[in-house]
């Protein structure tokens, strides 16, 4: 990942490579599809229609309870949310988008889509959203134009994932791949026009469930076809530069990287988290977090020493500070 500023990399513990960790379950709940974000000393976790902020314990991997704050506004479950510049932007099953300012009571809610908002991103005063209604939209947050739709993109397929490029010039959508179009497409943020499609060999149903920009030109994707793909837009849009196959043929719900060599992925069965090194073809370590009940890993985040994985009924923590 040449060109990434060192300060943007998460330098993970060497224990990650050797699989030395202590696993802990921090929270339990009724069956949900949670999402989360890490921000310094806080972990933000969606539970049903609310987003709750938990202070991380100074000693160990636990969370201080009760939550420090609760952000509400949706009438149905939160599908995805992002945390950027002290703002939370969330999309819900009610088709709406809610904007919260973390420090204060300011919040805005607006109707965004005809069906659930499966994914959102927020950068540079703009929100992008993707929905089951087969559209992606660009929204303004400028003064006097908050909640105004700037562009509606007809994706011809359900949108499962979305991300704005770090250059703030384009955004990528990951769709269900049930039609004739590519599930990975990049759109111009200013005009809403299609710029390019990524890949040419996706099979029908190979929906993209998560995307992650490392740099403006380096992008990770994963989904139903069990592959992690690493794209370098400068090199080629037709083929990825690297790919890794989930060894148990499970769909991959989420991925994250340290913007260096390490990738973490979450599988659809039995809460399997895998750690990968881009310099190797096989995964480094696997952790099975749900047993005997099977659950996808809906979301994962990590710091330099801990990995947090949200399953259908619990938040698990892998503590890599152990000797």
For residue 85, what is the domain's CATH number? 2.130.10.10
Provide the pLDDT for residue 13: 59
Whether residue 301 lies inside any domain: the answer is no
Cis peptide preceding 305, ω within 30 of 0: no
Write the pLDDT tens digit of every residue in 48-94.
999 999 999 877 768 999 999 999 999 999 999 999 989 999 999 99
Residue 126 CA to residue 164 CA, distance in Å, equals 9
Distances (CA, A) of 256 to 31, 148, 179, 232, 243: 23, 31, 27, 16, 15
Handedness of CA 83, 55, 13, 223 (dihedral sign): negative
pTM: 0.92
Three-state secondary-structure class, residue 117: strand
Give the per-residue pLDDT at 8: 38
With respect to residue 42, please indicate whether it lies within any of the assigned structural domains. yes
- What mean pLDDT, rounded, does the chain reach? 91
Cα separation values, 299 from 32, 44, 307, Å: 12, 12, 11
Query: Could you give the CA distance from residue 261 to residue 59 in angstroms, rounded to a whole number?
Result: 28
Q: What is the pLDDT of residues 177-212, one digit of tens each?
A: 998 779 999 999 999 999 999 998 888 999 999 999
**Structural domain tally of the chain?**
1
Token pair for residue 210?
A: 């998560």
Dihedral angle over CA of 57, 63, 64, 68, nearest 10: 110
Q: Report yes or no on 142 lying in a domain.
A: yes
CB contact set of 183 (below 8 Å; sequence gap of 6+) = 157, 174, 175, 176, 177, 199, 202, 206, 207, 208, 223
In a domain, 133, yes or no: yes
- From the list 318, 251, 322, the residue with the least C-alpha distance to 286 is 318
Residue 282 lies in a domain: no
150 within some domain:
yes
Q: Is residue 159 part of a domain?
A: no
In a domain, 99, yes or no: yes
Stretches where the chain sits below pLDDT 50 are: 1-9
- Write out the residue range of the structural domain in which residue 147 sits: 28-154
Q: Enumerate long-range contacts of 187-193, CB under 8 Å, 24 or more apart.
A: 187/136, 187/153, 189/126, 189/128, 189/138, 189/164, 189/165, 191/151, 192/138, 192/150, 192/151, 192/152, 192/153
């Amino acid at each position: 990942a040449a060109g990434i500023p060192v300060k943007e990399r998460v330098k993970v513990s060497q224990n990650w490579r050797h699989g030395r960790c202590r696993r802990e379950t921090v929270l339990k709940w009724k069956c949900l599809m949670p999402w989360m974000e890490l921000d310094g000393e806080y972990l933000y976790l969606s539970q049903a229609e609310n987003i709750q902020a938990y202070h991380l314990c100074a000693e160990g991997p636990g969370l201080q309870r009760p939550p420090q704050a609760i952000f509400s506004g949706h009438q149905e479950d939160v599908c995805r949310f992002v945390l950027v510049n002290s703002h939370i932007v969330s999309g819900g099953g009610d088709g709406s988008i809610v904007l919260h300012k973390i420090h204060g009571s300011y919040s805005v809610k607006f109707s965004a889509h005809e069906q659930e908002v499966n994914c959102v991103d927020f950068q540079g005063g703009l929100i992008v959203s993707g929905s089951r209604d087969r559209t992606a939209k660009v929204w303004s947050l400028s003064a006097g134009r908050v909640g105004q739709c700037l562009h509606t993109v007809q994706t011809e397929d359900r949108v499962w994932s979305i991300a704005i490029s770090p250059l703030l010039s384009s955004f990528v959508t990951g769709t269900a791949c049930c039609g004739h179009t590519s599930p990975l497409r990049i759109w111009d943020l200013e005009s809403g026009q299609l710029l390019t499609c990524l890949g040419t060999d996706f099979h029908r149903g190979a929906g993209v469930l998560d995307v992650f920009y490392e740099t403006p030109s380096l992008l990770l994707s994963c989904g139903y076809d069990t592959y992690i793909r690493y794209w370098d837009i400068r090199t080629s849009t037709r083929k990825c530069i690297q790919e890794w196959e989930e060894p148990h043929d499970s769909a991959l719900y989420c991925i994250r990287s340290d913007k260096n060599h390490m990738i973490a992925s979450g599988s659809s069965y039995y809460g399997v988290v895998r750690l990968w090194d881009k310099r190797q073809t096989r995964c480094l370590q696997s952790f099975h977090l749900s047993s005997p009940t099977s659950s996808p890993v809906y979301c994962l985040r990590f710091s330099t020493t801990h990995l947090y994985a949200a399953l259908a009924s619990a938040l698990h923590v892998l503590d890599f500070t152990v000797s």
